[in-house]
Amino acid sequence: MNTQSLALIKQSIKTIPDYPKAGIMFRDVTSLLEDHQAYKMAMGLFLERYRDQGFTKVVGTEARGFLFGAPLALELGVGFVPVRKPGKLPRETIAESYELEYGHDTLEMHVDAIKPGDKVLVIDDLLATGGTIEATVKLIRRLGGEVAHAAFVISLPDLGGEQRLANQGLEIFKLCEFE
């Protein structure tokens, strides 16, 4: 991968200390989205990594995963499946609960969004503890989908998410890391 592009992507991400709670260094992907060049480079790197790999669905998690997952699904020519916080999806859903770096939550997916044998790529803006994507992977597998790849703009490896997802059999692709 082009190291200049990766440096530009990392530089475009602002850090907000003590948000949303004291002690959290919040890595804010909205500043990347505001920078057309950085956003386009990030999408280009995801596309380069995942095109022609046989994926049949892209799954993105609410809310920031939608910002990368939906455009990537369009470029790959496959459907996009949103994983949402409780009570947001109108049809029949399945749910998984999980812990966050600063709280806990539940995620839901439409039961008919993934078909048995779907080859699924999971994407989110950021990997911290891995709880969000572990719950997402459980939802996909409960519906018979195959998932072995997860992509992120940002990884925070000190929080253990990479190891947690490796334990679930996932190969991780990330564009940058922060402590």
Binding residue for ligand PRP, selected from 1, 7, 63, 74, defined by CB under 6 A? 63
64 among known catalytic residues: yes
CB of 121 to ligand ADE, least distance (A): 20
Q: Which of residues 43-62 bind ligand PRP (CB under 6 A)?
A: 61-62
Question: Toward ligand ADE, which CB reaches closer, 24 or 70?
Answer: 24
CB of 154 to ligand PRP, least distance (A): 9
Question: Toward ligand ADE, which CB reaches closer, 113 or 122?
Answer: 122
Using CB atoms, what's the residue nearest to ligand ADE?
128
Query: Among 99, 153, 102, 96, which Cα is nearest to 124's?
Result: 153
Burial of 60 (0-12, 13-18, 19+ CB in 10 A): buried
51 among known catalytic residues: no
Q: Which helix (H) or strand (E) holds 137?
A: helix 131-142
Contact call for residue 127 and ligand PRP (CB under 6 A): yes
Helix%, strand%, coil% for the chain, nearest 5: 35, 35, 30
Residues assigned a catalytic role: 64, 101
- What is the binding site for ligand PRP (CB under 6 A)? 61-65, 100-101, 105, 124-132, 161
